[in-house]
Structure 1
Amino acid sequence: MYNNIKSQLNALKNNKAFELSVVAVIIISALEIGAKTFPLSSGAISVTHVLDIFITLFFLFELSVRFIADEDKRSFFKKGWNVFDTLVVVISLIPINDSEMALLARLVRVFRVLRMVSVVPELRVLINSLIKALPQLGYVILLMFIIFYIYAAIGSFVFKDINPKLWGDIAISMLTLFRIMTFEDWTDIQYETMEVYPMSWVFYLTFIFFTAFAFLNMVIGIVVNVMEEERSKLRKAKEDAKNIPTIEDLHSEIQQLKALIVQQQSSKEITDKESAL
């Protein structure tokens, strides 16, 4: 009985229509959260309240389906996305009217939009790639901070008298350099210092080369490399999942073996009779 229900729920979980319905409900949840930020009539508030209950119950049902259909339930909550989905669903069940937890419940309902990541495998690959790339990115960020610090110190010493608002100390200078790296009106800053130091363009161009070009491309390269590894793992997992026999396949093979054994026994009995004659 349980195995039958489990196989049916597993088929439902892998059904494309069910997956699309989950995505649709997540989108409706996002629209409903956005609608609550506008002034609403009493009728619209009632509709959003009913819709919120439906969304919460649907997410509870979808999480239950995934848990029951999972082959290894002990490892279900070892996966980060499953823990995140469970927390979002459980906290969404908290009544938000006249409660000290009302603000927390409302904020958690906002994070229901992030469930799109746990539902869509491609989005999970992106997020997992970013997380796994962080250790490698740490060294690039550290090197970038060193470059920022050196150029900020130079800019503060040289350009402080020209514009104290932009180069007054090393902290303000680093903020100015971040503005230059993002190309936010950086030419205005450059032309201002070039009026006093005509060769100061070397300072800006070298800084932009190191940060906006070299380090940014290094960050992109690391993320793309990790993303390709994650996609390879996902493809391998899908191939392995296809090779795993289902309960129906095992049942069919057992029936075939039984039929083969019965056939062999019948052939043996006929052979024994013929030998006796």
Structure 2
Amino acid sequence: MITRPVADIIEQLELDGDTIVTVDRLASVMDEVGATGSPRMLAYELQRDGWLGTLRSRGAWEFLPGSRAGSYSSGDRFLEFRAQHALRMGWPGVLAMESSASLLGLAQRIPDREVIALPDDAAFPKAMNGQWRCVRIEIPNEGVTVINDLPTWDREGLLVGIGIRPSGYKDTPGLGQWLSDPPFDVDTDKVLRLLASASAAARQRTAYLLQASGNREAAHKIIDANPPTETAWIGPRSQGGRYDSVTRVSDTRLHPYLSVGGGS
């Protein structure tokens, strides 16, 4: 039987629309409704009674509201990602690559493993090992947006992230498909700002991706701002592929999946 204080806590979690519950969150709600006791013991009690679902992230649980008519998970594929943000204020993880493309409505399939971007000095959470993939790319905040309470690269951030590390986008056919579905409109000035501290090769590859998408005006603007002096590569440095003389990019990986644009 649920006691009145516990019922009040569950009601508050439902009213607030909580998806992830942490010990600190329970302590806050207990204080809000005037309940006493240990938040951690309350978490164990709520888990035992089917109100909290187990996650791999220690100290965090999925809230299972009564509206689901049973202890059923929401099936949200980003639960562990949400948990890490709930557990660590200011944690810098951002959805990236295929995960970002999926949230932005570009990719037509869900990735086999979700992808986050982290700076070099941030540890990859143990709870995400095996089920998630990490790329070590730090896109400026201007290239990050929030969708469904999830921080993710926006269109410009995604394009620049792929330009920085094209090997980080594993679904090459999928990339070619959505990139070839014109028009791939971007804020070119924003792309240039995001590329400000990137390498010359990253700028060339980003321009090539834009040109391949049919956005030649944006590609030329990037190249005109930083004329290339050497060849940059997308894919392994091998014979064959496509060489684009405008961006000076040799593409041995992506070009078979592109249906618009083209090199010379």
State the TM-score bracket (shorter-chain normalisation): under 0.3
- The higher relative CO (CA closer than 8 Å, separation ≥ 6) is in 1
Greater strand fraction, Structure 1 or Structure 2: 2
TM-score (norm 1): 0.22
TM-score (norm 2): 0.22
